[in-house]
Amino acid sequence: MRDFRRKRSVLSALCLLVITSFVLIACSAPPPAAAPPPTTASAGAATAPAESTTASAQANGPFVLLDWAGFELPEYYPTFTEKHPDVAPEYAFFAEDPEGFAKAASGFQFDLVHPCISYWELYVSEGLIQPIDTSRLKNWSGVSEKLAAYGMIDGKQYFVPYDWGFESIIYRTDKVKTPPTSWADLWNPEYKGHLSMYDSGEAAHIITALALGFDPWNTTPEQDEQIKQKLLELKPNLLNYWSDSTEVSQLLASGDAWVIASAWNDAYVTAKNEGVPAEYITPKEGRVGFLCGYAISSKTKNLDLAYDYLDALLEPEAIAAMGNTNGYGISNIKAIPLVDPELVAAMDMDKPEILESTQFYRPLDDAQREQFTSMWSEIKAAP
């Protein structure tokens, strides 16, 4: 996925490798059976957040974040810089969640990590992160309860949800005569030779299962075979498989691709900024969604700094800056009025019910990962 997963192009990641000398290596817990409505978070938080005791905190060695490229921008955590002008966060970037987890599990020393929901349970089960005392976050009161609930594992808050977004369909309004309204519409012969699809076996399985009316995460062997055959039937429509958001923007701008499947929020932001006539839809089966968040290392030596950084990320002005830049949803709903209204409308950020109808990624076991990889290899190799 959102491994995204998914969030920055491979080219950007490689550039960062040269610049920073960090090695680049590495968008879920199943949603609670009865998740609370997306208002503001209160579970696990004190009614009156305690004053931070970190005003004079000093770094005990490097303060390191294991993160996606692009989330290191200073405007995303200005109050941390104001409070700790002598502390310069260091970043070790990963290009996808499996690589980020592998780095964390290998013994790499980090203070904060920013994985997506598919990997949250793994970080907990491996003892890589510690529960979060939300009473130390003065901005916690603005976090959506729905999103906060995803970060609770075994009754404890392990993750601070930060950014979330979609994989959906974006299309050129000046090229398509019959706009898509469903994942099943990807098979419309009108799009022959002009459909681009995300190069991911997991994503392909999910959207095809949705098109066929299956539960993507609980398919039978017979349904898996139907999904495979359905994907083979899609090949005449395909222009290519895309692998990063930069490619999506280029395909849209050139007009080579009329319809792009599993596109992320930033594709719409880029199209809007470049004046490309495009629309980002909500398929009737629901958008696929990713949710990413921050967690504190179980071995951190900079606990006070970690809490101050998390709180700085949640500041309304700061998290709104992230949302405006990337087009991602933001976890602090108090900041929504600070986000571009056109972007809010396009991504339904002001409609809590969108979270209820979003098909968020979930954890996969090794057998499922192998199945998706094998299926995808066969499909791509087929004529």
Q: Is residue 193 one of the residues assigned to a domain?
A: yes
Among 45, 65, 30, CA closest to 291: 30
Domain that holds residue 281: 166-288+363-381
Cα-based torsion angle of the residue sequence 138, 143, 145, 146 in order, rounded to the nearest 10 degrees: -160
What confidence score (pLDDT) does residue 269 get?
86
Residue 60 shares a structural domain with residue 178? no
Do 211 and 338 belong to one domain?
no
Task: State whether 154 and 27 are in the same domain.
Answer: yes
- Lowest mean pLDDT of 24-33, 198-207, 328-337, name the range: 24-33
In this predicted structure, what is the pLDDT of residue 25? Answer: 34
Is 154 in the same domain as 248?
no
- Which of 116-120, 141-145, 352-356 is least confident? 352-356
* Its pTM surpasses 0.75: no
In this structure, the answer to whether residues 305 and 347 fall within a common structural domain is yes
Q: Please state, for a pLDDT cut of 70, what percent of the chain lies above it.
A: 85
Task: Note whether 145 and 243 are same-domain residues.
Answer: no
Ramachandran angles phi, psi of 84, nearest 5°: -130, 70
Is the predicted pLDDT of residue 35 greater than 60, yes or no?
no
317 domain residue, yes or no? yes
Is residue 3 in a domain?
no
Output the pLDDT for position 252. 96
Average pLDDT over residues 302-325: 97
* Mean pLDDT computed over 280-289: 92
Identify whether residues 61 and 145 lie together within a single domain. Answer: yes
Residue 228's pLDDT band (cuts 50, 70, 90): very high
* Model pLDDT, residue 75: 98
Number of domains in the chain: 2
State yes or no: pLDDT of 30 exceeds 60: no
Residue 2: inside a domain: no
Assess if residue 139 is contained within a domain: yes
Tokens of 107: 């013994």
Q: What is the pLDDT of residues 101-126, one digit of tens each?
A: 999 999 999 999 999 998 999 999 99
CA dihedral over 196, 248, 355, 72, signed as positive or negative = positive
What was the pLDDT predicted at 340?
92
Q: Which residues contact 278 (CB under 8 A, 6 or more apart)?
A: 170, 171, 172, 173, 252, 267, 268, 271, 272
Q: Are residues 250 and 321 in the same domain?
A: no
180 shares its domain with 57: no
- Note whether 70 and 159 are same-domain residues: yes
| Same domain for 121 and 96 | yes
Domain assignment of residue 152, yes or no: yes
Over residues 168-179, mean pLDDT = 97
Q: Kindly give, in sequence order, each residue whose CB lies less than 8 Å from that of residue 215, ignoring residues fewer than 6 positions away.
A: 209
In a domain, 147, yes or no: yes
CA atoms within 13 A on the CB side of 161: 31
Q: Are residues 103 and 208 in the same domain?
A: no
Mean pLDDT of 66-84: 96
Q: Residue 341 pLDDT > 80, yes or no?
A: yes
Report the chain's mean pLDDT, rounded to a whole number: 86
CATH number at residue 270: 3.40.190.10
